[in-house]
Structure 1
Amino acid sequence: MSAEQETKSSEGQLFQDLDADATATEIESMCVRCQNNGITRLLLTRIPHFKSVILMAFECPHCGFRNNEVRSGEAMQETGHIHELRCTTKADLNRQIVRNNTASISIPEIEFTAPPASSSSLTTAEGLVSRFIEDLAADQDQRKEEAPEVFQAIEAILEKLRNALTLHDEDGAETSPHAFTLVVDDPTGNSYVENLCAPNPDPKLTVRHYRRTRDQMIEMGYLNPDADDAQWTEKEKQLVGQKKQINMVEEMEAAKKVMQAIKEASEAKEILTFPANCSSCGAPCDTRMQMVNIPHFQEVIIMSTTCDKCGFKSNEVKCGGAISPKGRRITLKIEDSDDLSRDILKSETSSFSVPELDLDMVAGTMGGRFTTVEGLLRQLHEELSGRVPFLEGDSAESGKREKFEKFLQRLEETANGNVLPFTIIVDDPMSHSYVQNLYAPDPDPNMVCEDYERTFEQNEDLGLNDINVENYEQIEPEQSK
């Protein structure tokens, strides 16, 4: 049994479904009020929307002090998530939102930002705004007497928040004076905003993925801020890009050295190993990296991280070639079960769609994957079945739940080869994705590759509009900063 399977098995034993037979674990612990020993009861269970949670209840028999808490038992996702919801109608205000206690909320139109809360919650967009209004208005009478300027500033924000709750039922235009954007930023990736068009992309909802920074890891308690980096060698620092206070020229030179080290190891058929931190539990672990040459395509970097402590596994694929001047769209018609065994490299910048299933997966959803067509469909089935929380539990609408279950069933049948033929489309603006050509080097009759010019918006999202690849050695120090 693999480490990942052992972890899932142990998690299944620890976190049980909430029912009458569930029993709590009692632990003797110190009371923070009277310093005597009290009893803490722990219950590990699974709840729809929140997945695995830890219920804690403390009671002191000496002074009567009580404290109840709910903590998330879910591991951090591979990346942080930013959900941007454009609210223009009353239906958008009724969208369900799972807010993890590490998530911050902001409304750019009124320059309003709410820091992470003390506990997780299941609410709606209207509920979040109403809670903000309630919290801001709590001490307004006192501010009016002691700090009139602060009172007026907060009153202006309260008026805008109240106006945000007056959206109409009909489909309002983007130019509505009270339309606003709700941004949910969660470094753990465990917050969710309901997608009314699931499993298809929602035109009003944008989800972006990002790598957590060191400061975010420290703030969440996964890294020790006083940890000494002296044990890292200079070569290891270059490999993982952890040089501090270096200018842009040194960064590009360090990148060249990293690529050179990877190529030398690839020629010697060696696997580079360097220390890292597990993105799930923060424990030290090893990341293995090797460059592989894919015939009739280009070189790619395969990275694998395994944590011995929690069993977390992460696989990622990065393209090692230069940025292509054009994007590429690959359309493959799957006619028999043999086509499901074709190798496919889906980079983190590519989108993936199956028109026959009305499936459209935006870029960055699953990161980089090097697998087969069948493997990609099964991974997609696993992602959708485990990370769409609003279609579970008694509160989910029966119509949406049945529709989504039918979609998952069709997706599974497609991966099994029971639904033929169908078409897959891999659209990559960076042209770093690949689908195996069984007739190489001759053209594949079932596959069409189209090269196209990237739009300005695509170049902006990829950071190519401002990149400087010529005379970068002459950058002034001020510009480097």
Structure 2
Amino acid sequence: MSSTSEQPKSLFRDINADDEDPEVTEIESLCLRCHDQGTTRLFLTKIPFFREVIVSSFSCDHCGHHDSELQPAGRIQEKGVQYSVTIKNSKDLDRQFVQTNSASVSIPELEFESPPNKGVLTTVEGIIDRAVDGLNQDQVLRRIQHPEVAEQIDNFIKKLQDLKSCSTPFHIILDDPSGNSFIENPYPFFICNESLGIQESEEVDKEEKFNAKDEVVQFPSNCPGYIPHFKEVVLMASTCDACGLRDSEVKGGAGMEPKGRKITLKITDPSDLTRDVLKSDMCCVMIPELDFSTEMSSMPGKFTTLEGLLDDIISQLEKTNPFMIGDSTQDDKVSKIKQFCEKLKKIKLGEELDVHICLDDPTGNSYLQNVYAPDEDPNMTIEDYTRTKEQDDELGISDMKTENYESSE
């Protein structure tokens, strides 16, 4: 007995012209035309980027009858599928075409639709030839009995055959409620590769790209709900179709931290303004050089950059400050606020450096990007501190009871 065991062959084989053993099963079958014995051949194969199918072919040596059919090897899918492909050249005519017995084919430009028929494995050109063959049936008899109808059909057959010249682009639509039909995409990796910058778009004409409804392209990307070297967060965005208002907010995904956190960054270069910032709604923003500080809950939580955070502060001072608009306007205060906003704008533009931005968050849910991570940032300090009683009161922690809160009778 041999010590090495051969790897078992798969039941469903790839279509390969070099395969010397294609695993075709032959079965004697009754010919429905002459009622003599014919032969049915079964071939179990895989359609690339699709699924397994069973191709069957019947032939009768007695009367010369031939027939073929394709059946999906799997179950009916949960959803139907509709493919719409623009045919522009001979390559498109060579696209592999899988039509099950529940699928219909239509060509909108000719107002032509072929109802569900026998399943078939062919090409787009083969589908056109199949439609021509179907229309040509009984044309000899029809030319004698109904010459006008026969002439109209001949004209339509010519239009179908002219499609194969591809002189004018046309669409072919495959609609299958069973979800088991398929039109080949000759560029299966093109869309994903181009998105990742691997393949230049000039290599393939963009107009020739596969256009199938419900096509899904998957590729790995960073999760928008996770901030590296920090924690999970919840990003929320709301829009109003009535007034056009848009708003966004961010919340920590892990609750309140046991200690507060104070993050201080010294801005030494304009590139520091591009650092990511997660500011919770309870975080105070301070600029010691300007004697500036916001209060807790004065600004909503936001995930932005340092530049964006300064923009929000400037916008709040200039547009929503009651001293800047309406009857509450006071010239002296307006002048001071404008001067202060000018200083903030200079910091935002990188014209004034060596200033400190401080995020003081008693909930510990704010974050400032460390561009040197995982190493320490020489210009940033992080201090975790115990909250004061006043902070606990303001956060409502003092009134929380998390132990023995169920009354016993």
TM-score, normalised to structure 1, is 0.37
- Bigger CA radius of gyration: 2
Provide the TM-score with structure 2 as the length reference: 0.43
